[in-house]
Amino acid sequence: MWGNIAIAFLLAFIVAFMATPYTIKIAEKVGAVDIPKDKRRMHKKVMPRFGGPAVILGFLVSVIYLLIVMSIEGSINLFGMDEYGKKLLGFFLGIVIITITCVIDDIKEIKPIFKLVGQLLAAIVVVSFGITIDDINVRFIEIPELGEFVQSLITILWIIGVTNAINLIDGLDGLSSGITAISAISLLIIFILNGSPAVAVVLITALTGALVGFLPFNFAPAKTFIGDTGSNFLGFAISIIAILGVAKTYTAVVIVLPIIVLGLPIFDTLWAIIRRLIKGKSIKAVFKGDKGHLHHRIVRMGFSQKQAVLILYGISASFGLFAIILFDSGIWKAMSFLLMVIVAIALGYKNFKREKSTDERFECVECKYIYNPKFGNEKAGIKPGTSFDDLPDNWVCPVCGEGKDMFELHED
Ligand SMILES: [Zn+2]
């Protein structure tokens, strides 16, 4: 197993590391670049956003090489009872569908609904090739016919949910790629402890390797973005590998481990949906971007982009460690770990809490109104000298009525 892990990691790493510079050149040629007119981006210059294909290439080269080697030596049987050959074919087809949809989006920016259709199609293909969350029906649903349908439905929801969750945290240099790499390492450890199938171990290792090969180009200050192609692939791949890794285990807790490992993007997305439903009072409001994601909040607290990313890496690693400890040593040790994390954050926060700066101006990304603490907002009863942080939570933009979530730090 350790030979497989070493080769899967290194091969994916080398290919992704070598391919990324080419994707930067290609991005400039085909126009897959981010021009900073988009209000939700934090960048000021034109950036290539085509790193995804390099990561996908690293992953696929490594996986296919190892599948061939392992088949020849006889350590896996792709056509045996578990039908890994069929399942992997479905997975690869899904990757092709997601990639085509998102490459078009990275170059031309298609409507979100077409992207969702692409994701749905890819998820349905994967499920119809036999990758489903097994054995849930054994515990929760008693009617077998309904069981299979519900299984497929839950699987599709899981794949699409995780794909979009990773896509949504793609807002700072190195964030979505780093968080996925950390989650993948956590899953790798869980797979090893769990005695998961060799195929799943190889897949998760290759994903980790490809991401580690890409990160040097993506960590702040980024030379390239991973793009929609990349962040969709990451969520899609990790959601499916998680299923392959925990399938056929008969410990109930194993099924919740991937949810904990991916806790940061999942909870951030759920919170965004709830927040937008409450604020917009309609389903349509859910799809409207805002500045309320966790990474926006941390930057608004006064941390730099790089610090914010490192804080989120730490949170993600804590989720991963919690899942590993829960699985390996049980609930009480996991809870004591959680307690220690909370104490550490409380202590650290006290020491690193920034001085509240009273002269920072914040700009409404919707209408460009600038809140200046020097003047306050007298009509709303805000006295001059009130910092943006101290504005009440229900304060809204006096020009367009958007909430504090739509404001970002204004720099000259
Ligand atoms: Zn406004």
Q: Does 33 lie in the same domain as 126?
A: yes
Q: Does 55 lie in the same domain as 155?
A: yes
In a domain, 350, yes or no: no
pLDDT score at 249: 66
Q: Which residues contact 43 (CB under 8 A, 6 or more apart)?
A: 34, 36
pLDDT score at 6: 96
Q: Is the dihedral of CA 129, 135, 138, 141 positive or negative?
A: negative
Query: pLDDT category, 146, cuts 50, 70, 90?
Result: low
CATH of the domain at 404: 2.20.28.10
Dist. CA 71 → ligand 1 center (Å): 60
Dist. CA 292 → ligand 1 center (Å): 15
Dist. CA 298 → ligand 1 center (Å): 21
In a domain, 252, yes or no: yes
In a domain, 309, yes or no: no
pLDDT score at 393: 80
pLDDT score at 303: 79
pLDDT score at 54: 95
Q: How far is CA 34 from CA 18, 46, 172, 177, 231, in A?
A: 22, 5, 13, 17, 15
Kindly tell me the number of DSSP H helices and DSSP E strands found in the chain. 14, 5
Q: Give the bridge partners for 377, in sequence order.
A: 382
pLDDT score at 305: 82
Dist. CA 273 → ligand 1 center (Å): 21
Dist. CA 403 → ligand 1 center (Å): 8
In a domain, 297, yes or no: no
Q: Does 246 lie in the same domain as 377?
A: no
Dist. CA 207 → ligand 1 center (Å): 41
Q: Does 125 lie in the same domain as 7?
A: yes
Q: Which of 244, 262, 289 is the last residue of a domain?
A: 289
Q: Does 395 lie in the same domain as 278?
A: no
Q: Which amino acid appears at position 169 of this protein?
A: I
CB-count exposure of residue 124 (10 Å: 0-12, 13-18, 19+): middle
Range of the domain at 388: 362-409
pLDDT score at 405: 80
Q: Which residues contact 81 (CB under 8 A, 6 or more apart)?
A: none
In a domain, 186, yes or no: yes
> pLDDT for 362-399, tens place per residue?
888 888 899 988 888 888 888 888 888 788 888 889 99
Q: Which residues contact 72 (CB under 8 A, 6 or more apart)?
A: none
Token pair in block for residue 208: 């980790």
Please state which of the ranges 226-235, 336-345, 376-385 shows the lowest mean pLDDT.
376-385
Q: Which residues contact 376 (CB under 8 A, 6 or more apart)?
A: 382, 383, 384, 385, 386
- Report yes or no: 296 and 171 within 8 Å, Cβ to Cβ: yes
- Averaged pLDDT score across all residues of the chain: 86
Provide the percentage of residues in the chain whose pLDDT is more than 70.
91
Distance (Å, rounded) from C-alpha 37 to C-alpha 58? 32
pLDDT score at 258: 93
> With b meaning 16 or more CB within 10 Å and e meaning fewer, what string describes 84-102?
bbebbebbbbbbebbbebb
In a domain, 395, yes or no: yes
Dist. CA 370 → ligand 1 center (Å): 8
In a domain, 112, yes or no: yes
Dist. CA 201 → ligand 1 center (Å): 49
Distance (Å, rounded) from C-alpha 386 to C-alpha 362? 12
Q: Where are the alpha helices (DSSP H) in 281-352?
A: 294-300, 305-329, 331-352
CB-count exposure of residue 8 (10 Å: 0-12, 13-18, 19+): buried
Query: pLDDT category, 289, cuts 50, 70, 90?
Result: confident
Angle between helices 227-246 and 112-128 (to 10 degrees): 30
Dist. CA 178 → ligand 1 center (Å): 33
Q: Which of 289, 308, 341 is the last residue of a domain?
A: 289
* Residue 411, pLDDT above cutoff 90: no
Dist. CA 406 → ligand 1 center (Å): 8
> pLDDT for 241-280, tens place per residue?
999 998 766 666 777 899 999 999 999 999 988 888 887 7
Please give the helix or strand (H or E) that residue 370 lies within, else none: strand 370-371
Please give the helix or strand (H or E) that residue 410 lies within, else none: none
Dist. CA 389 → ligand 1 center (Å): 17
Distance (Å, rounded) from C-alpha 6 to C-alpha 12? 10
Dist. CA 39 → ligand 1 center (Å): 12
Dist. CA 385 → ligand 1 center (Å): 20
Dist. CA 340 → ligand 1 center (Å): 41
In a domain, 74, yes or no: yes
Q: Does 277 lie in the same domain as 375?
A: no
pTM of this structure: 0.86
Dist. CA 371 → ligand 1 center (Å): 10
Is pLDDT larger for residue 239 or for residue 150? 239
Q: Does 282 lie in the same domain as 367?
A: no
Structurally, the chain folds into a number of domains equal to 2
- Report yes or no: 159 and 123 within 8 Å, Cβ to Cβ: yes
Q: Does 271 lie in the same domain as 376?
A: no
- N-to-C CA span, the chain: 54
Dist. CA 400 → ligand 1 center (Å): 4
Tell how strand 370-371 and strand 362-364 pair up: antiparallel
Which of 340, 317, 188, 197 is CA-nearest to residue 262?
317
pLDDT score at 333: 95
* Helix-, strand-, coil-residue percentages of the chain, each rounded to 5: 70, 5, 30
Query: pLDDT category, 138, cuts 50, 70, 90?
Result: very low
Dist. CA 395 → ligand 1 center (Å): 11
Three-state secondary-structure class, residue 132? coil
Q: Does 180 lie in the same domain as 86?
A: yes
Q: Which of 274, 289, 304 is the last residue of a domain?
A: 289
Which of 190, 224, 187 is CA-nearest to residue 207?
187
Q: Does 366 lie in the same domain as 285?
A: no
Q: Where are the alpha helices (DSSP H) in 74-143?
A: 84-108, 112-128, 136-140
Angle between helices 52-73 and 227-246 (to 10 degrees): 30
Dist. CA 110 → ligand 1 center (Å): 26
